[in-house]
Amino acid sequence: MYSFNNDYSEGAHPDIMEALMRTNMEQTGGYSLDTYTEEAIHNMKNLINCQNADIHLLVGGTQTNLTALSAFLRPHHAIIAASTAHIAVHETGAIEATGHKVIIHPTDDGKLNVNHIRECYEAHTDEHMVKPKLVYISNPTELGTIYSKAELEEISCYCKENQLFLYLDGARMASALTAIGNDIALSDYAKYTDAFYIGGTKSGALFGEALVICNDNLKEDFRYHIKQKGGMLAKGRLLAIQFNTLFTNHLYETLGEHSNKMAYKLKEGITSLGYRFLVDSQTNQQFPIFPNNVIIQLEKEFLFSFQAKIDENHSAIRLVTSWATREDKVEKFIEVLRNCK
Amino acid sequence: MYSFNNDYSEGAHPDIMEALMRTNMEQTGGYSLDTYTEEAIHNMKNLINCQNADIHLLVGGTQTNLTALSAFLRPHHAIIAASTAHIAVHETGAIEATGHKVIIHPTDDGKLNVNHIRECYEAHTDEHMVKPKLVYISNPTELGTIYSKAELEEISCYCKENQLFLYLDGARMASALTAIGNDIALSDYAKYTDAFYIGGTKSGALFGEALVICNDNLKEDFRYHIKQKGGMLAKGRLLAIQFNTLFTNHLYETLGEHSNKMAYKLKEGITSLGYRFLVDSQTNQQFPIFPNNVIIQLEKEFLFSFQAKIDENHSAIRLVTSWATREDKVEKFIEVLRNCK
Amino acid sequence: MYSFNNDYSEGAHPDIMEALMRTNMEQTGGYSLDTYTEEAIHNMKNLINCQNADIHLLVGGTQTNLTALSAFLRPHHAIIAASTAHIAVHETGAIEATGHKVIIHPTDDGKLNVNHIRECYEAHTDEHMVKPKLVYISNPTELGTIYSKAELEEISCYCKENQLFLYLDGARMASALTAIGNDIALSDYAKYTDAFYIGGTKSGALFGEALVICNDNLKEDFRYHIKQKGGMLAKGRLLAIQFNTLFTNHLYETLGEHSNKMAYKLKEGITSLGYRFLVDSQTNQQFPIFPNNVIIQLEKEFLFSFQAKIDENHSAIRLVTSWATREDKVEKFIEVLRNCK
Amino acid sequence: MYSFNNDYSEGAHPDIMEALMRTNMEQTGGYSLDTYTEEAIHNMKNLINCQNADIHLLVGGTQTNLTALSAFLRPHHAIIAASTAHIAVHETGAIEATGHKVIIHPTDDGKLNVNHIRECYEAHTDEHMVKPKLVYISNPTELGTIYSKAELEEISCYCKENQLFLYLDGARMASALTAIGNDIALSDYAKYTDAFYIGGTKSGALFGEALVICNDNLKEDFRYHIKQKGGMLAKGRLLAIQFNTLFTNHLYETLGEHSNKMAYKLKEGITSLGYRFLVDSQTNQQFPIFPNNVIIQLEKEFLFSFQAKIDENHSAIRLVTSWATREDKVEKFIEVLRNCK
């Protein structure tokens, strides 16, 4: 069985493992107060072209989201998000558990736009309702789609005009950065958002997400929040060593490119066999629609997850590629699919 | 500079790194739904001699404490702890952030006893006060002292009689298990507590704590709580592979023994030079009292932390040893101390 | 200006004021530990025909909802509600502030049905999502519609089968109980729900809601939750004296009937003038649709609130009647409407 | 049986009841958006000599404390309070339920001083601990003692120097304002604190506390917090009408004076019979120490509460007087005491 189930099935890229091995017996300060972390933050500030940012390294995505959002908001503040957003669906109410409502808006393709945001914002008019204060988007979205720079800028403008913070979840940012059609550079995220995170877990690290806080008003005492929410790793250097490796010789982009290349190969092969997709994804998640009996045959050799029922006889599945996806297995998938009756 | 600052200055024991390398490119299920985790849990159930326990692997101690305690308690429930307890002092109000009061009681040596617990319990008499529902202890304590089996049993009995849950924080359990004078076996923890955790971070793992839930009433839906609080590691097998290594060939105990041996060597050397200690610790944290000018001299060659002011001219410091502490450095410390004027 | 803005524009029914005056200088125990409260609870148990219920008197609706729901649920539990539900829209995120997600479903008329509930329930399948545990409905709904006994029973059955608690918000229950077409008796609420509240604030009391907990598993320590959430009134007897008055000689029903009678008179008059309604309400809130220029003319003599934009030239408004609504003012409203051009 | 159990055994002062009756059938806006509330706030700003303050009327003390403190603080902020403080002991963990730790310091007499505050403040040094941000005091304290203006000013200065907010709970402020030896005027509270509340419930109102926010940084969106925490009374004018009555013709001070006069009469009578007190209270709570057999005899005719065990044979009790305490009952108490054997 080969798994297209997610992008965290394997360990880490060998360069990362090697770096962890090499530094293993060194003594450093705990809790991210070490020179590796200093170095990682220094390098990342250059990469995002924002010397003024505060950068914090955390273990996982839900932890990063809940820590950041609860630190940024006052108790009556709410978040606007797509109804498919990770925080809205797949984080077990982590945001609500910190006390904040997530206001959701349906979208066609996982992408929130200014009209959606405006509708949510304007519906909240007085103190009997929550006060929308932060817009949450992710790039790529949960459906693999990506924002254009113009779209990101437009959202950013609307947020600034209405005193809304803009937060971007970059769990799969490596794939977005290297997707066909992408025109958003790393430095653009620092320019257009108040905070965002650069995902490591799904892009070749054992674990780790780099939270970048761009808005000065959101920086104060952030380490207190990390500790309080249980996200401060004792051996914090493990995070830094991984990110340093990812940002050496463009490894991060290289891994993102590979995951996209494998996704595009799947997409092309599936398309050429006459199948359609739930949504037109440019990144490492693809959502082909198959007859249910085809899915049953595919399941005999591959792991993947169910995405949506299309009709009585058809379903969309989710195929995820990663930095570690083997090209021969992609080819095998297409071959098996071709032979399905 | 050699650091006695804490027991998480280095990476992991080489056997752990080797195991992570060996399994790195395997595909497994995410979120601790993998065969390594199954194996780790199977092994640990045998070790604690409790087939009925639920075991969950989490990344760090604060995360484990806040997830467990908030899952176990209803909103009006409070926790009884020593005033020096980790949750009371060093977790940035993580427990209160989940809504629960920590009722504290002073102790001489970090050890909570039945009299302390009773006093707290009986002081809370009606619905205008919180309702004490869980007793938090750690072994070893924050001051390096350990409980005897009789003491643990006595606390356990009191808790059972009064419908209080007993929770034990085992962040440094490897040191407690192998301390001179210890008579509490791993299986006793399962017998006498409602839940406890076996610490990995401070005992040779890169990170990781194994939470053992013994009381059936506390088990339901626990994975929801892990996810909601941001503690569910995507590549959960990393935790399992580490614990499997620690519990192969008694590595866990071996590492605990080494940390104690180094601590005892420090203790003996310091004692033989005529210095006293803040508290009589049997484990890998030692709290010698030195003249301030001696401390200044020691600081030139060693890292350690300040513990308490004794008088105008004397302070207690904290020296922490670990599985990785080098014996030559311990000898060097004593030698430097001997030469202090 | 006469107000149809809400059903809490005046003080209390004169009988209530008289009872408060009569008892004013008596000394009683505080915090609802007094004989008036005992009497009120005794009477209400008879009224709902459920000797086994626990009844608590609280000051207001949001307070009652947040106290009950946070007491009933564990941290990962979520609530299913109509998207128009009071807790979803008009309580400033009070429920989320206690840590729980409110899962919303759109409805035509404010009434949640089993299909809605099932869809929400079945969409939540694993520990990466919240766990639906409680269904929140209100009768009448926010749109003035009422449930039939058969509908309530069906929801109740579905909830029981799926271990969901059923909670009913009865802020305007007096109006529901006495609405044309209603077939749900007070005792049915005790039979079909796990908990519900009988509203006083909007039915002739100065303030006060009577929470009835029917499910034994939800009763324990409830007074702790009232106190913790700030809802325990020092002079608790004030609540009891008011409810005793409301439930003497069927005053509660009499007041509900009056509010409905005034609403029906408005409905009839508006209908006879050829206008339509946003929804067919049987209770004391009516939502007529008027041309915008008619609304402007009505606003010169009456207070009411905007409900929804229908098209460029038409809007729905909300007219609320109460125990205190004057019939001559209703007649005046129709007369003014008739004269609108 | 006559009750000295508390200062909320009766209803409201007759002038208040009369005002509620007189205005009962008027229509006003809901949720404190009415002209009575405007008038009350206008008058109170004059009384405290601070036109710039924001004033909100809430129902009860716990509600006021939890709403204010949770609105003022970020998640990692903690509160410093006396170990006897109402929020520390008698509010069922209401503050912790909003996520904040209450750091407690023992005191001799319920009064927190700068040394206590400094000790708590300086013990919290880094992000592994909570960050103290607000000092909570009450005047009078839980033990009936009062602050001098110099003491209040000194605390205020320390707080300002260290960016700590100063919050004062004035549940029994009428008694403090009129106590022998008091030199703090209402306007001083506005001058020296960031926020405080003027208690109504224990000073002749049916219920009600007036929260005064002096610090501009704490004012924004406060009504959202009141609503979210369940404290926004639908018929908000009830609060305003009561406070308007209390502040007409100095009724508030007159009622405070009466409660003190009755307390002093108890104190004098008890002292003259040779008994001592747990603490030297200047206000309407007195804590005499009696032999246990004397207490048993007193309990036959009077209600009061147990305060503390002094030794095997002696206990301190709490006697509370109020605006409604009858002088003949005070005389009776002394007479009964004189006849105790």
Give residue-wise pLDDT tens across range B260-310.
999 999 999 999 999 999 999 999 999 999 999 999 999 999 999 999 999
Does one domain contain both D62 and D141?
yes
Residue A311 has pLDDT above 90, yes or no: yes
Residue B341 has pLDDT above 80, yes or no: no
**How big is the C-D interface in CB pairs under 8 Å?**
144
Strands (E), chain D: 2-3, 54-58, 77-82, 102-105, 131-138, 165-170, 195-199, 209-213, 276-277, 285-286, 288-291, 302-303, 305-309, 314-320
> What is d(CA D161, CA D144) in angstroms, rounded to the nearest whole number?
29
Does an H or E element contain B11, and which? Answer: none
**In the listed set D201, D231, D246, which residue is the last one of a domain according to the structure?**
D246
Q: A221 and D71: CB-CB below 8 Å?
A: no
Does one domain contain both B222 and B314?
no
Q: How confident is the model at residue B3 (pLDDT cuts 50, 70, 90)?
A: very high
Largest CA distance in chain A: 61
Closest-CA residue to A314 (of A275, A265, A279): A275
Averaged pLDDT of chain C: 98
Give residue-wise pLDDT tens across range D32-73.
999 999 999 999 999 999 999 999 999 999 999 999 999 999
Does one domain contain both D231 and D299?
no
The CATH number covering residue B67 comes to 3.40.640.10
Residue burial D177-202, b: 16+ Cβ < 10 Å; e: rest: bbbeebebebebbbbbbbbbbbbbbb
Does one domain contain both C100 and C140?
yes
Give the pLDDT score at D4. Answer: 98
**In the listed set B246, B274, B304, which residue is the last one of a domain according to the structure?**
B246
What are the residues of chain A with a beta carbon less than 8 Å away from any beta carbon of chain C?
75-76, 78, 89-93, 96-102, 127-130
Provide the domain count of chain A: 2
Q: C62 and D24: CB-CB below 8 Å?
A: no
**Closest D-chain CA to B97:** D99
Strands (E), chain A: 2-3, 54-58, 77-82, 102-105, 131-138, 165-170, 195-199, 209-213, 276-277, 285-286, 288-291, 302-303, 305-309, 314-320
Total Cβ atoms within 10 A of residue C276: 14
Six token digits for residue B25: 């490119």
**Closest B-chain CA to C30:** B128
**Closest partner residue to A127 among C76, C92, C101, by Cβ?**
C92
Give residue-wise pLDDT tens across range A194-222.
999 999 999 999 999 999 999 999 999 99
Q: C235 and D201: CB-CB below 8 Å?
A: yes
Does one domain contain both B106 and B207?
yes
> What is d(CA B155, CA B193) in angstroms, rounded to the nearest whole number?
9
What are the residues of chain C with a beta carbon less than 8 Å away from any beta carbon of chain A?
75-76, 78, 89-93, 96-102, 127-130
Q: C227 and B99: CB-CB below 8 Å?
A: no
Contacts of C6 in chain D (CB under 8 A): 30, 234
Contacts of C27 in chain D (CB under 8 A): 2-3, 9-10
Total Cβ atoms within 10 A of residue A253: 16
Contacts of C89 in chain A (CB under 8 A): 129
Residues 6 or more apart in contact with residue C251 via CB below 8 angstroms? C13, C15, C204, C245
**Closest partner residue to A75 among D128, D130, D228, by Cβ?**
D228
Residue A58 has pLDDT above 80, yes or no: yes
Residues 6 or more apart in contact with residue C1 via CB below 8 angstroms? C301, C302, C303
Contacts of B93 in chain D (CB under 8 A): 76, 78, 99-101, 130
Residues of chain D with pLDDT under 50: none
Total Cβ atoms within 10 A of residue A341: 6
Angle at D15 between CA D10 and CA D21, to 5 degrees: 95
DSSP string covering A30-44, please? STT-SHHHHHHHHHH
Averaged pLDDT of chain B: 98
Does one domain contain both C201 and C83?
yes
> What is d(CA B301, CA B314) in angstroms, rounded to the nearest whole number?
19
Closest-CA residue to D11 (of C200, A115, C233): C233
CA distance D213 to chain A (A): 17
Contacts of B90 in chain D (CB under 8 A): 128-129
Does one domain contain both C40 and C171?
yes
Q: How confident is the model at residue A341 (pLDDT cuts 50, 70, 90)?
A: confident
Residues 6 or more apart in contact with residue C208 via CB below 8 angstroms? C57, C58, C59, C200, C201, C238, C239, C242, C243
> What is d(CA B147, CA B163) in angstroms, rounded to the nearest whole number?
22
Does one domain contain both D306 and D176?
no
Range of the domain at B280: 2-6+254-339
Give the pLDDT score at A268. Answer: 98
The sign of the CA dihedral C324, C330, C331, C336 is: positive
Total Cβ atoms within 10 A of residue D24: 18
Does one domain contain both B229 and B266?
no
DSSP state of D200: -
Six token digits for residue A29: 């300060």
CA distance C93 to chain D (A): 6
> What is d(CA C280, CA C292) in angstroms, rounded to the nearest whole number?
21
Give the pLDDT score at A339. Answer: 95
The CATH number covering residue C279 comes to 3.90.1150.10
Residue A121 has pLDDT above 80, yes or no: yes
Give the pLDDT score at A234. Answer: 98
Cis peptide before A75 (omega within 30 of 0): no
Q: D26 and C11: CB-CB below 8 Å?
A: yes
Q: D75 and A223: CB-CB below 8 Å?
A: no
> What is d(CA C315, CA C277) in angstroms, rounded to the nearest whole number?
10
Q: B27 and A97: CB-CB below 8 Å?
A: no
Give the pLDDT score at D341. Answer: 77
**How big is the A-C interface in CB pairs under 8 Å?**
51
> What is d(CA B211, CA B54) in angstroms, rounded to the nearest whole number?
8
**In the listed set B212, B246, B280, which residue is the last one of a domain according to the structure?**
B246
State phi, psi for B244 to the nearest 5 degrees: -60, -40
Q: A91 and B227: CB-CB below 8 Å?
A: yes
Mean pLDDT of all residues in A323-334: 98
Does one domain contain both D162 and D260?
no
Q: Exposure of A329 by Cβ count < 10 A (0-12 exposed, 13-18 middle, 19+ buried)? A: middle
**Closest partner residue to D75 among B91, B97, B127, by Cβ?**
B97
Residue B111 has pLDDT above 90, yes or no: yes
ipTM over 0.90: yes
Does one domain contain both D153 and D283?
no
Residues of chain C with pLDDT under 70: none
- Please report, as a single letter, which amino acid is at residue B260: N
Residue corresponding to tokens 């699919």: A337
Does an H or E element contain B58, and which? Answer: strand B54-58
Does one domain contain both A260 and A224?
no
Give the pLDDT score at B90. Answer: 97
> What is d(CA C213, CA D48) in angstroms, rounded to the nearest whole number?
44
- C-alpha distances in Å from residue B148, one per residue of A90, A215, B109, B182, C160: 44, 52, 14, 7, 48
Closest-CA residue to B8 (of B209, B275, B223, B231): B209
